[in-house]
Structure 1
Amino acid sequence: MAGSSHGHTPAAWTGVIIAFIGFCVAGAFMVMAQPVGFWAGIAIVLLGGVVGGIMRMMGLGQKGEHPVHQLAKNEDHAPVRAQS
């Protein structure tokens, strides 16, 4: 995954950070036995996904496939030549 820059975009980072905050909020309110706060935390988690998706549509997500992976795909589909 590291070679493909998977998730190394502002959209991914923002979505994950917002979702992480939501998990922390939901976890804290779950321990305090406060269902309304728990569900508010779950809503924040979902908001992280929405914000990340909107940012991706705005062009702040992954632009395309990494060139190394494109090269590997091209080599996999290259015609096989007999060696003499």
Structure 2
Amino acid sequence: MRKMLLKIKESSDLFVKTFILYVMGVLLVPTRRDDISLSSVCAVTDVADIPKKNWASYRFNELVKCICDPNADGKSIYMVACCWS
């Protein structure tokens, strides 16, 4: 029974991590590429810390990084930004 509960917990954590990475890629830090940045992966390593993160600050820092060096990836000359209507 304990093994089954641990397996369910691991599956639940995996779903939460995947969902948060998806939301980050679509809403918080959208890109034109299909890859995920290392900072995004590091942000979701511990599921218990996800609600404690300052996501607005994370988004702001990513936006500033794109403004300061829009061609950092060597592929794009366009700034990545969220459009809210």
Shorter-normalised TM-score: what interval?
0.3 to 0.5
Q: TM-score, normalised by structure 1?
A: 0.33
Quick check: which has more Rg, 1 or 2? Answer: 1
The alignment's TM-score, normalised by the length of structure 2, stands at 0.33
